[in-house]
Amino acid sequence: MTTEYMTFLAGKRPTVPDAGFRVAPGELHADLLPHQRAIVAWALRKGRCAVWADTGLGKAFIALEWSRQLLARGQAKRVLILAPLAVAQQFVREGTKWGVPVTYARDGSQSIDGVTVSNYERLHLFDASTFEAVVLDESSVLKAFTGETKRALVKTFRNTRYRLCCTATPAPNDIIELCNHADFLSVMTQQEMLAKFFTPRGSDDGSTGQYRLKSHAHRDFYRWLASWAIACKLPSDLGYPDDGYVLPALSIEAHFVAVDWAPDGHLFFTELKGVTERAKVRRTTVDSRVEAAIQIVNAEPAEQWLLWYGRLDEARGLAKALPGAEIVQGSDSVDRKEDLLRRFADGEVRVLITHPSIAGFGLNFQSCARMAFVGLSDSYESYYQSIRRSWRFGQVRPVTAHIVLTEPERAIYNNVLRKEQEAGVLTRELVAAMAEFEVQELRGETDYTDVYDPVMPMIVPAWLTTTTGELA
């Protein structure tokens, strides 16, 4: 078989070749754990890739070491890390511990050679051409196909040589959301991925516009994913020991407050219909839910508490009744947010009241083992990430999360539980399906060629052969 034909066969296999450089795991930071060292070495070899590792598995350290190696080996002069607002300063602190100086910059004029960290909201203030590498922390921001943030990130960093995405929730709602990571990394466009691996679900079940994996494409799809992404819940998913990665118990306690509420024009409540009714019941039941949450907090006065609000009047009611409680809200200055979040992480604030959009992603609050949602949205990702601020590897105590809702909002709770079950199945399937190929990738055993082993000899027409019997 000719070399040209072997190359043709290899090109038909949906994999992504290396675009970086090789570093021996032993050359990496000595404090990295075995699975972290393997992931960093793989990520440097890939050049453009994604790390979908669960909370607490060390994605920040992986990103920092990846950046350090690029700088040390002359592959980049400047690396930009984009992160949620509250997480940026955490990178600065972790970088100091790691021996990687990280500069926080509010715009491009403040960035210097080395590693710069800023927030997604400030992306438009930076010139991407001045950076040879970019890290997207909490890269689930890419999940929305039509989202402005996703489009801006894809366009801005299309020509950036080195790109790394890190998140624990790459597809919180549907596996199709993985398309956006592929698009950002210039692996495959959304349209190409849909055409190659997916087919429309059809309209008979009301799922018009939704997609499912083609029945014959499962193995190729997950092999393709593993050629540019790592997915794991535990180090053992990658063939490494789980020493130190045992989570304590998690208890979810739902509290449904009885309230006398019915929609306008009705004598009694049946079910919430639409956003307007949900907003109204939350507005009119603030006092009842806040009072229930206060009783829960006061029942354990020695504990540090993380309280998640949905409405500002909930936050203010909680702060008024809980001495020493601090509110972190969207209108606060960046400095105030960062100071209070740091003080809470260090145990200096007993009760922190904030919103999942502010502190629900990326932060480490293992000092706290008690939290409460004073109201709940339908977003499973927000719920999962918020709980994981405390219930994460490194936590040594059992964690209790209270969910305070009114009886009319019970359907919201049930909806989140349903999404949690569906997401759990999706994640387990993703990790299990990719495991075989990931291990090969991490060990450098993948050569991106298919073995052609015919069971029958090829019969070539005479008019295609030369006098020597070879193909013309």
The predicted structure's pLDDT at residue 295: 97
Percentage of the chain lying above the pLDDT 70 cut: 85
State how far the alpha carbon of 177 is from the alpha carbons of 164, 212, 277, 303, 395, in Å: 17, 12, 30, 38, 30
Question: What is the 8-class DSSP label of residue 99?
Answer: T
Fold match flag (10-244 vs 250-420) = yes
Average pLDDT in the chain: 85
Domain covering 10-244 assigned CATH 1.10.3720.10 in the classification: no
Domain limits, the chain: 10-244, 250-420
> Is-contact 118 88, C-beta < 8 A?
yes
**Structural tokens at position 218:** 């499962």
Question: What is the 8-class DSSP label of residue 471?
Answer: B
- Rounded to whole angstroms, the Cα distance separating 164 from 66 reads 9
**Residue 206: pLDDT band with limits 50, 70, 90:** very low
Q: How do beta strands 102-104 and 211-213 pair?
A: unpaired
The predicted structure's pLDDT at residue 444: 74
Residue linked to tokens 């006092």: 287
**Residue 212: pLDDT band with limits 50, 70, 90:** confident
97-130 pLDDT, tens digit each? 888 999 999 898 888 899 999 999 899 999 999 9
66-91 pLDDT, tens digit each? 999 999 999 999 999 999 877 888 89
What are phi and psi for residue 118, nearest 5 degrees?
A: -150, -175
Look up the CATH number of domain 250-420: 3.40.50.300
The predicted structure's pLDDT at residue 261: 57
* DSSP codes joined into one string, 25-84: GGGS-TTS-HHHHHHHHHHHHHSEEEEEE-TTS-HHHHHHHHHHHHHHTTS-SEEEEEE-
The predicted structure's pLDDT at residue 423: 87
Q: Which residues, 6+ apart, have CB-to-CB distance to 252 below 8 Å? A: 401, 403
The predicted structure's pLDDT at residue 98: 85
> Is-contact 175 426, C-beta < 8 A?
yes
Integer Rg of the chain from CA: 25
